Amino acid sequence: MTDEGNPSADAGVLITFEGGEGAGKTTHIRFLAKALEELGYSVLMLREPGGTELGEALRTLVLDPSLAPVSPRCEMLIYEAARAQLVDEVIRPALEAGKIVLCDRFTDSTEAYQGFGRGIDRGQIQSANLFAADGLVPDATLLLRCEGAAEGLVRATHHGTADRLEQAGIDFHQRVQLGFDQMRQESGGRIRLVDTSGPKSLTAAQVFSALADVIPALADPRTFDEDYFAVLDVRSHG
Ligand code: TMP
């Protein structure tokens, strides 16, 4: 692997996407990845928990409704275990190779879900996050927010059976949402809010402009004009 793929980055960039259930993260990560590749960057898309063979196995375990009840500490440690593997096996080497890593959820999810949601002390979670992520902190984090936890949950569970976290109840998911908001305010600008209540094209445009300080080419209006984003609103593109 070389740095040749990246026009400007000499070290990699880690961008994470956060939010409640059904906020549309996957669509926007894929769309951004495609744009970055068109710009000549070398991009890696990952999800948490997951992204490694062990991480995907841990994901299946932690989300399996048949294994409830799960101790909140056990739940937190499974997420951290999957993260440690992902950082060592995939993220760290990719950043060292100069890639742009787009990660669907990362350390902030643990603080929001296991901290604000389950009630584990935030300080302890922050320490565990640093340990599992080996000190890595995202260059930027986009917080995608839909109208409310309830709508998001409905959307996320629309096509199938709810996983164990989706079944955790509306109060839990409202605490998570409020947690993300508080964390954003405390993040010193790292966490940027993206409102997903409008058309997908509008959300994508917000995603691009929210990252302009990290990847300036995303703010070029000649490349990324209305037509560029409009494709997202065509029904067949989901
Ligand atoms: P998702 O990737 O499809 O959103 O599913 C992952 C689920 O796991 C989601 O409900 C959020 C939850 N989660 C945590 O509770 N803590 C974590 O640290 C992470 C990464 C995810």
Q: In what order do the strands lie in the sheet with 43-47?
A: 43-47, 100-104, 13-19, 140-145, 191-195
Whether residue 105 lies inside any domain: the answer is: yes
In terms of pTM, does the model score above 0.95? Answer: no
- Report the nearest-CA residue for atom 21 of ligand 1: 109
Whether residue 113 lies inside any domain: the answer is: yes
What integer pLDDT is reported at residue 234 of this predicted model?
86
Q: Helix or strand or coil: residue 46?
A: strand
Whether residue 4 lies inside any domain: the answer is: no
Summarize pLDDT for 168-205 with one digit per residue, the tens: 888 899 999 999 999 999 999 999 999 998 999 999 99
Whether residue 151 lies inside any domain: the answer is: yes
Whether residue 138 lies inside any domain: the answer is: yes
- Count: domains in the chain: 1
**Which amino acid, residue 174?**
Q
Q: Helix or strand or coil: residue 221?
A: coil
Cβ of 80 less than 6 Å from ligand 1: no
Of 117, 121, 48, which is closest to residue 84 (Cα–Cα)?
48
Identify the domain containing residue 190 by its residue range: 13-237
Whether residue 24 lies inside any domain: the answer is: yes
Rounded (5°) CA angle 66-118-88: 80
Kindly write down the DSSP assignment for every residue of 127-147, as one continuous string. Answer: HHHHHHTTT---SEEEEEE-S
Q: Which residue has the higher pLDDT, 148 or 146?
A: 146
Cβ of 201 less than 6 Å from ligand 1: no
**173 neighbors 152 (Cβ within 8 angstroms):** yes
Summarize pLDDT for 53-92 with one digit per residue, the tens: 999 999 999 999 999 999 999 999 999 999 999 999 999 9
Confidence band for 9, pLDDT divided at 50, 70 and 90: very low
- Report the nearest-CA residue for atom 12 of ligand 1: 165
CATH number at residue 139: 3.40.50.300
Cβ of 48 less than 6 Å from ligand 1: yes
Whether residue 116 lies inside any domain: the answer is: yes
Q: What ligand 1 atom has the least distance to the C-alpha of 165?
A: 10
Summarize pLDDT for 101-144 with one digit per residue, the tens: 999 999 999 999 999 999 999 999 999 999 999 999 999 999 99
**181 neighbors 210 (Cβ within 8 angstroms):** no
- Report the nearest-CA residue for atom 3 of ligand 1: 21
Of 99, 110, 5, which is closest to residue 48 (Cα–Cα)?
110
Torsion of CA 167, 173, 174, 175, to 10 degrees: 120
Q: Mean pLDDT throughout 211-221?
A: 96
Distance 105 CA to ligand 1 centre (A): 7
What integer pLDDT is reported at residue 10 of this predicted model?
57
Of 114, 134, 109, 136, which is closest to residue 124 (Cα–Cα)?
114
Residue matched to tokens 């990362």: 106
Whether residue 104 lies inside any domain: the answer is: yes
Q: What ligand 1 atom has the least distance to the C-alpha of 107?
A: 18
- Report the nearest-CA residue for atom 15 of ligand 1: 113
Cβ of 18 less than 6 Å from ligand 1: no
